[in-house]
Amino acid sequence: MTLLQKVKNAVRKRSIHVCYVNTGSCNGCDIEILACLSPRYDIEQYGIYVHNNPREADVILVTGAMSAQWIDKLPDLWDKVPEPKAVVTIGNCPISGCAFNRPGSLVDPPVSKYIPVAAAIPGCPPRPTEIINAILSVADILFDNYETRLEEKR
């Protein structure tokens, strides 16, 4: 491995851009994401930055039970995210629909039917530490020797 690649591997893992999408949650999981930004958990100390532009994101966080209006929008949003990219779903809703998945409801989980999911964190809602752990674990896989892996695919 070249020195440049070693530097890239180290630096990129300290600069993870996250965009979050609510596909119809009760906001419980979204509040836990916001807690990650608070001084107590201080997500930026791990090099994770939250904003809302999918074109600049590395990791997409998805909350919610996949309501009908997101069925077309979510794959479109995923297409806008540049490579390398990964999805982490937060809570039980993107996995099973949780409390919203009842007869007659207009939700269609799981989110993994529509976009590829790298990690799914269960919980109603999961803890901020679990959210941070999941982002860091997928970023390790996402950025490690990205250029080399790309070359090997060609």
Q: Which is nearer to ligand SF4, 99 or 141 (CB)?
A: 99
Interface with ligand SF4 includes 67 (CB under 6 A)? no
Closest CA to 60 of 13, 104, 12, 116: 116
Provide the minimum distance between the beta carbon of 21 and ligand SF4 in the complex, in angstroms, as a whole number. 12
Decide: is 110 part of the binding site for ligand SF4 (CB under 6 A): no
Contacts of 31 (CB under 8 A, 6+ apart): 125
Dihedral over Cα of 68, 69, 71, 74: its sign: negative
Check residue 63 for interaction with ligand SF4 (CB under 6 A): yes
**What does the DSSP 8-state code read for residue 83?**
S
Tell me which of 13, 28, 132, 137 binds ligand SF4, using CB under 6 A: 28
Closest residue by Cα to residue 89 from 57, 55, 65, 108: 65
Tokens 């995210």, located at residue: 81
128: contact with ligand SF4 by CB under 6 A: no
- The reply to whether 29 sits near ligand SF4 by the rule CB under 6 A is yes
Neighbour tally for 36: CB within 10 Å: 22
Closest contact distance (angstroms) between CB of 102 and ligand SF4 is 12
Q: Which is nearer to ligand SF4, 84 or 91 (CB)?
A: 91
- Give the number of residues in contact with ligand SF4, rule: CB under 6 A: 12
State yes or no: residue 109 binds ligand SF4 (CB under 6 A). Answer: no
Q: Which residues, 6+ apart, have CB-to-CB distance to 53 below 8 Å?
A: 19
Binding positions for ligand SF4, rule: CB under 6 A: 25-26, 28-29, 63, 91-93, 98-99, 124-125
